[in-house]
């Protein structure tokens, strides 16, 4: 069973015992969400089947209106990508110029990165153990924050799913589980608890980020405050463009 003993639950009205069943269902749905297409249809698209390219493969693929969640999502995605580059073996490919000389002009990784620079990045990983420990600490802290914000996301999609007109038995079964477990006071309590806990971990990550960003090697793994802000702005712009394009397609 999901544990919520570490949350500060503000529940001035109703029966407090209604919080636990709803929290357990949120945890279950969050765990199943990425691999359950029917659940995705209900929570993301009013029961209609999502196109293959619209289906999220990770929680990084999901954007919502919570600014702090967007910040954590972008920062964690960059951090985890850079850690993978610095710690995992890379497939290296030779690059030749158009004249097809016998000797390659450079070497690139399979993802198009400069192989020589990646090699230096990987060697320095073992030379800066103080910073690499901080990078792992930052990764763990941001992951906890992201988990809480994703619980909040799932909870609030469940709120909208109750009033949908659904056709399939599988979709109706999901809706029935939500309706039977739902309590509006528990919803408000958990929404506040998830958001507060996400912000708490986000605040805990700040001094770790500052220490990392002050080091030349650590700075390669994290975004600056300005880059983070611009990343969120661009993500929201992309989200709006995708939504407008979808509305236009469906209106034809």
pLDDT, tens only, 156-189:
999 999 989 898 999 999 999 999 999 999 999 9
Name, in order, each residue with C-beta under 8 angstroms of 120's C-beta and a sequence gap of 6 or more. none
| Residue 244 clears pLDDT 90, i.e. is over it | no
User: Quick check: 132 pLDDT over 60?
Assistant: yes
**Which pair of structure tokens corresponds to residue 57?**
């493969």
Q: Residue 148: count other Cβ atoms within 10 Å of its Cβ.
A: 22
CB 118 within 8 A of CB 135: no
- The CA distances from residue 86 to 10, 38, 78, 221, in Å, are 43, 37, 12, 9
How many Å apart are CA 174 and CA 155, to the nearest integer? 13
Residue 156 CA to residue 144 CA, distance in Å, equals 19
Contacts made by residues 48-56, CB under 8 angstroms, sequence distance 24+: none
pLDDT value at 106 more than 70: no
Q: How many CA atoms lie within 13 A of 128 on its CB side?
A: 21
Quick: pLDDT tens for 9-42: 766 565 678 899 999 999 999 999 999 999 999 9
- Average the pLDDT over 74-83 and give the result: 95
pTM comes to 0.86
């Amino acid at each position: 069973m999901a544990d919520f003993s570490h949350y500060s639950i503000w529940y001035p009205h109703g029966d407090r015992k209604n919080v636990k069943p709803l929290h357990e269902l949120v945890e279950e749905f969050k765990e199943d969400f990425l691999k359950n297409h029917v659940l995705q249809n209900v929570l993301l698209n009013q029961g209609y089947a999502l196109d293959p390219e619209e289906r999220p493969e990770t929680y990084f693929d999901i954007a919502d209106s919570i600014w702090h969640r967007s910040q954590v999502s972008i920062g964690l995605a960059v951090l985890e990508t850079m850690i993978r580059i610095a710690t995992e073996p890379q497939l290296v490919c030779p690059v030749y110029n158009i004249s097809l000389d016998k000797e390659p002009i450079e070497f690139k990784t399979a993802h198009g990165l400069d192989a020589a620079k990646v090699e230096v990045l990987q060697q320095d990983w073992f030379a800066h153990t103080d910073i690499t420990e901080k990078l792992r600490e930052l990764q763990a802290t941001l992951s906890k924050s992201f988990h809480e914000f994703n619980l909040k996301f799932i909870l609030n999609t469940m709120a909208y799913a109750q009033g949908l007109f659904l056709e399939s038995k599988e979709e109706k079964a999901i809706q029935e589980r939500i309706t039977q477990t739902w309590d509006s006071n528990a919803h408000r309590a958990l929404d506040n608890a998830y958001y507060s806990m996400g912000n708490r971990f986000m605040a805990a990550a700040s001094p770790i980020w500052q220490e990392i960003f002050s080091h030349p090697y650590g700075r390669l793994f994290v975004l600056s405050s300005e880059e983070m802000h611009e990343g969120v702005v661009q993500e929201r712009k992309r989200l709006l463009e995708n939504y407008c394009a979808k509305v236009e397609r469906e209106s034809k």
